[in-house]
């Protein structure tokens, strides 16, 4: 039986390449559990070949003038936008996310970042600094690329994350070997082909497919200068530990258990809208989700009443239906994980189930085998509950009440994670003060989730190392060289004749 998409191969030396392992794995449609494509599994020899291709390409690409690199990347961004609908359809089939989301967010936001960095380096963003040290001496700095870099993608925003990693990497003059998540690999070869069509030289962007063992071999390879990883905390720690042992540069964007603090003066409707966006967008499969919703006790009844009323606005259904805004979870493995947390919340934590639960939403017969859950809300939660402490990565909201703002801030910070946080209030001056106290690297006021190319994002504490996007984001892909030039004509020395 033929599958909807052709077999995905590896990609290096500027073209698709067959895997030498002779092995394949399948990617499936989460909405109905049907297979989508066979994906060729990279062997260690294949990874070696991809890295060698990147090594051969690095000397020329790193010396290519930034304005020339910029033109190629701008062309790639243009091609991504031209092919937006086609790529978004594949992303919907691969991730299960509603097409209303992938067609308006995933490809577009990735292309925005690519265009942002192309424009940045093309307009002199990588220029160094000069300092007139004294009358006859100057210091100047240069920013040099690192070399061959590894990018490890995540399954929740496949093409977007691939672009968030490759855009600054390539703009800075590095080359990359990229491994997509084994759960959502369709985009890898597509992106590589777009880069090639745009004029990217062979070997500058390469793709290998596989699961954790392929990623582990890639990131520990001695020829890799930097690892950029997006994923769960436990895996990120292992990757970072291996990289540190070889003195590699790293960027780690890891998990979160982020607090959303609603202040007493907040508009209830706006607060509910923010909490729903922070928990149910992308079926809750977003690392920055605000899953711990802190509300004043005096607001609890009104907040919960409005939330239950608005839950009907979350519409599960056929993923290409324009009315659908809520898809399935990405895989059977992840479905089992999320439902086990919901069961634990009901049976062990004994939080009050406000809505949702273990039953699947009502769906057409052809979607019954998919990995669907309901948007779920627990209330009367306490800080020690497992559903409150651990990252679930699904559409599960925990409501916690507080008496004072000082108490809410203290409890919001009582976690080893620090990816994101947000505040809803009409008092903007107070909002800034509260945001300043929250221990997180990405914060919002009266909003949740927007992450434009201009905004540097990254976690605090156990939620990561370094940032992506913004001017700061490209600094993680270059190294500094400082040179002091003495023009006096004499060499200062302590070894003079007495």
Q: Domain coordinates of the chain in residue numbers?
A: 10-254+463-483, 259-445
Q: Which residue has the tokens 């919960």?
A: 304
| Shared fold status for 10-254+463-483 and 259-445 | no
Tens of pLDDT, residue by residue over 12-49, are: 999 999 999 999 999 999 999 999 999 999 999 999 99
pLDDT tens column, 51-88: 999 999 999 999 999 999 999 999 999 999 999 999 99
pTM over 0.85: yes
404-458, pLDDT tens digit by residue?
999 999 999 999 999 999 999 999 999 999 999 999 999 999 999 999 999 999 9
Angle in degrees, CA 181, 182, 185, rounded to 5: 75
Bigger pLDDT: 238 vs 432: 432
CATH topology of domain 10-254+463-483: Aldehyde Dehydrogenase; Chain A, domain 1 (3.40.605)
**Under CATH, to which class is 259-445 assigned?**
alpha beta
Separation CA 119–CA 454 (nearest Å): 12
CA distance 120 to 128: 14
Between helix 187-198 and helix 66-82 the angle, nearest 10°, is 130
Q: Residue 244 — pLDDT band, cuts 50, 70, 90?
A: confident
Catalytic residue among 101, 115, 182, 253: 253
Spatial contact of 454 and 470, defined as CB atoms under 8 Å apart: yes
The yes-or-no answer on residue 213 being catalytic is no
Where do we find the tokens 């002091």?
A: 484
The conformation of residue 416, written as its DSSP 8-state character, comes to S
Confidence label for 459 from pLDDT (cuts 50, 70 and 90) = very high
Instruction: With a cut of 90, say whether residue 492 has pLDDT above it.
Output: no
Q: How confident is the model at residue 106, as a pLDDT?
A: 97
pLDDT at 176 over 80: yes
* Contact between residue 171 and residue 199 where contact means Cβ atoms under 8 Å apart: no
The DSSP 8-state label assigned to residue 124 in this structure reads T
Q: Write out pLDDT tens, residues 94-126.
A: 999 999 999 999 999 999 999 999 999 999 999
């Amino acid at each position: 039986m033929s599958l909807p998409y052709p077999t995905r191969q590896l990609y290096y030396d500027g073209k698709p390449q067959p895997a030498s392992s002779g092995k394949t794995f399948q990617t499936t449609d989460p909405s109905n559990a049907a297979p989508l494509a066979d994906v060729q599994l990279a062997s260690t020899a294949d990874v070696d070949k991809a890295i060698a291709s990147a090594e051969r390409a690095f000397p020329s690409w790193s010396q290519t003038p930034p304005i020339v690199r910029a033109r190629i990347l701008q062309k790639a961004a243009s091609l991504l936008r031209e092919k937006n609908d086609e790529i978004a359809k594949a992303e919907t089939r691969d991730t299960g996310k509603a097409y209303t989301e992938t067609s308006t967010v995933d490809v577009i936001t990735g292309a925005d970042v690519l265009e942002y960095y192309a424009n940045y380096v093309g307009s002199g963003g990588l220029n160094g600094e000069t300092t007139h040290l004294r009358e006859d001496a100057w210091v100047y700095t240069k920013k040099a690329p690192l070399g061959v870099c590894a990018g490890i993608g995540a399954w929740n925003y496949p093409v977007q994350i691939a672009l968030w990693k490759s855009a600054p990497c390539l703009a800075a003059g590095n080359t990359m070997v990229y491994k997509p998540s084994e759960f959502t690999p369709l985009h890898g070869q597509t992106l590589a082909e777009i880069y090639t069509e745009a004029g990217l030289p062979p070997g500058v962007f390469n793709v290998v497919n596989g699961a954790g063992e392929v990623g582990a071999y890639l990131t520990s390879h001695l020829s890799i200068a930097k690892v950029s990883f997006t994923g769960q905390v436990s895996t990120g720690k292992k990757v970072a530990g291996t990289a540190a042992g070889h003195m590699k540069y790293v960027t780690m964007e890891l998990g979160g258990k982020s607090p959303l603090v609603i202040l007493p003066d907040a508009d209830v409707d706006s607060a509910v809208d923010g909490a729903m966006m922070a928990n149910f967008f992308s079926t809750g499969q977003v690392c920055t989700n605000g899953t711990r919703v802190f509300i004043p006790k005096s607001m609890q009844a009104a907040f919960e009443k409005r939330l239950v009323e608005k839950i009907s606005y979350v519409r599960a259904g056929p993923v290409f239906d324009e009315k659908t805004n809520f898809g399935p979870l990405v895989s059977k493995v992840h479905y089992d994980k999320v439902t086990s947390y919901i069961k634990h919340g009901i049976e062990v934590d004994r939080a009050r189930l406000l809505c949702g639960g273990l039953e699947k939403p009502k769906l057409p017969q052809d979607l019954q085998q998919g990995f669907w859950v309901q948007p779920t809300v627990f209330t009367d939660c306490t800080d020690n509950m497992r559903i409150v402490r651990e990252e679930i990565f699904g559409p599960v909201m925990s409501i916690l009440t507080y008496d004072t703002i000082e108490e809410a801030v203290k409890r919001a910070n009582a976690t080893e994670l620090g990816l994101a946080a947000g505040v809803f209030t009409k008092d903007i001056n107070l909002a800034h003060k509260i945001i300043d106290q929250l221990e997180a690297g990405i914060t919002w006021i009266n909003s949740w989730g927007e992450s434009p190319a201009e905004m540097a994002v990254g976690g605090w504490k156990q939620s990561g190392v370094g940032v992506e996007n913004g001017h700061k984001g490209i600094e993680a892909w270059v190294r500094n060289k400082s040179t002091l030039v003495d023009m006096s004509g004499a060499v200062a020395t302590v070894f003079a004749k007495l």
